[in-house]
């Protein structure tokens, strides 16, 4: 395989089970791949690396900028330009003498190859834009899932806080009950000490104790219900606020999506116009090539006719010179005859 420094890239750190077809599929997104070569030194304990040659140097630059540091087959690869040992010979094309017809045919073939490479590169850019859009969509989906998990964690934390507050309220209630029991024991001790007191006083103290217990239990229950109501209200307000924030984010995302769709439609229109302009340019170029061919043929005919005219002029001049020589000879002969007749 011949490696072109401008169109080729070096891919190092490949997995040992990597094949040329799999490596070609990875780099097809950046342009048309001409050749792929893999060097696998696994048997001697060496490395596995490869070379990829594109039809366009721009594809090689894009592949280096995008794939360097990425993973292929679970391994991080290093992608850079090809570094050759020594310099390459510089062939001067001016030393090759070709006729004009062959040069024009080669130029036409090169132009057609450039157009084909341009079409392939444009398709590669479109595929890469599609893959980038899919990647952005996955990131948005991940963000939405993350927000959902964060909201769920927030509600779980609220539930835990509510349970903890409820346990604290129960503990306070238990402490109040223990305090009431201590008061009851103190009252019993006082009643035992004051046995001489009347039964009416004892019943009245018992009623007071019962009223005190009822009042304490009511206060505790009202406090716990008020706390639970406040927590539920706060949680509801947070949920409403979170829903409004999510609705705002959804509306913003919808606006961005509409803008992106409008941008995509504009780009599609521009692409269609460019394709139409390219087709018209190809037709014009073909027409001009035909006109140049015809003009060149006319030039050759004019050149041939000019050479024939020159040769005819030379022949005519030679005939005129011969006629003048013959006329001079005839004149001299007539003069001699006339002179002899007089003599």
pLDDT of residue 87 exceeding 50, the answer is no
Instruction: Decide if pLDDT at 103 tops 60.
Output: no
Helix, strand or coil, per DSSP, at residue 96:
coil
Q: What pLDDT score was predicted for residue 27?
A: 95
Q: What is the pLDDT of residues 193-230, one digit of tens each?
A: 665 555 555 566 667 667 766 666 655 555 556 677 78
Of all residues in the chain, what percent carry a pLDDT higher than 90?
Answer: 35
User: Which stretch of 18-27, 187-196, 256-265 has the lowest confidence by average pLDDT?
Assistant: 187-196
Residue 25, CB half-sphere, CA atoms under 13 Å: how many? 6
Q: Which of 74-88, 185-199, 295-309 reaches the highest mean pLDDT? A: 295-309
pLDDT reported for residue 334: 77
For 146-166, the pLDDT digits (tens) are 565 666 666 667 667 776 777
**37 has a pLDDT exceeding 50:** yes
| Phi, psi values for residue 42, rounded to 5° | -65, -35
Element (H, E) at 87: none
Whole-angstrom Cα distance, residue 234 to residue 50? 62
Structure tokens at 157: 């934390």
Q: Which of 156, 162, 175, 172 is nearest to 227 (CA)?
A: 162
Q: 247-270 pLDDT, tens per residue?
A: 899 989 999 999 899 999 899 999
For the chain, domain boundaries: 5-81, 228-307
Q: Say if residue 131's pLDDT is above 90.
A: no
Q: What digits encode the pLDDT tens for the residues 310-335?
A: 999 999 999 999 999 888 888 788 77
Give the model's confidence band at 69: pLDDT under 50 very low, under 70 low, under 90 confident, else very high: very high
> 67-76, 101-110, 122-131: which has the minimum mean pLDDT?
101-110
**287 bridge partner residues:** none
What are the backbone angles phi and psi of residue 50, rounded to the nearest 5°? Answer: -155, 170
pLDDT value of residue 168? 76
Is residue 93 predicted with pLDDT exceeding 70?
no
At 314 the pLDDT is: 92
Decide which of 107 and 6 is more confident.
6
Q: What is the pLDDT of residue 177?
A: 77
Question: Which CATH number applies to 5-81?
Answer: 3.30.70.330
Q: How far apart, in whole angstroms, are the C-alpha atoms of residue 294 and residue 149?
A: 75
pLDDT of residue 72: 93
Identify the CA nearest to 11 among candidates 83, 82, 79.
79
More confident residue, 98 or 338: 338
């Amino acid at each position: 395989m011949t490696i072109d420094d401008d169109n080729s890239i070096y891919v190092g750190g490949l997995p040992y089970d990597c094949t040329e077809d799999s490596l070609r599929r990875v780099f097809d997104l950046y342009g048309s791949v001409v050749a792929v070569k893999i060097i696998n030194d696994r048997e001697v304990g060496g490395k596995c690396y490869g070379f990829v040659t594109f039809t366009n140097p721009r594809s090689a630059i894009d592949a280096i900028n995008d794939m360097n540091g990425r993973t292929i087959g679970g391994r991080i690869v290093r992608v850079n330009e090809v570094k050759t040992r020594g310099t390459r010979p510089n062939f001067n094309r001016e030393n090759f003498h070709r006729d004009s017809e062959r040069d024009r045919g080669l130029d036409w073939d090169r132009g057609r190859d450039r157009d084909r490479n341009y079409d392939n590169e444009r398709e590669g850019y479109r595929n890469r834009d599609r893959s980038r859009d899919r990647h952005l969509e996955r990131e948005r989906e991940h963000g939405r899932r993350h927000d959902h998990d964060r909201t769920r964690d927030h509600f779980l934390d609220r539930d835990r806080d509510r349970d903890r507050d409820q346990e604290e309220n129960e503990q306070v209630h238990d402490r109040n009950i223990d305090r009431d029991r201590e008061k009851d024991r103190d009252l019993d001790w006082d009643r035992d000490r004051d046995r001489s007191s009347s039964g009416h006083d004892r019943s009245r103290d018992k009623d007071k104790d019962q009223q005190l217990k009822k009042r304490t239990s009511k206060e505790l229950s009202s406090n716990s219900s008020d706390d639970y109501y406040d927590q539920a209200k706060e949680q509801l307000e947070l949920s409403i606020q979170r829903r409004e924030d999510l609705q705002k984010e959804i509306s913003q995302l919808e606006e961005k999506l509409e803008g992106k769709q409008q941008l995509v439609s504009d780009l599609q229109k521009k692409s269609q116009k460019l394709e139409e302009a390219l087709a018209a340019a190809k037709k014009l170029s073909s027409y001009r090539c035909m006109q140049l061919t015809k003009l060149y043929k006319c030039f050759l005919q004019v050149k041939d006719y000019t050479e024939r005219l020159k040769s005819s002029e030379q022949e005519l001049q030679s005939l005129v010179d011969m006629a003048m020589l013959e006329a001079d000879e005839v004149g001299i002969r007539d003069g001699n005859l006339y002179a002899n007749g007089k003599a």
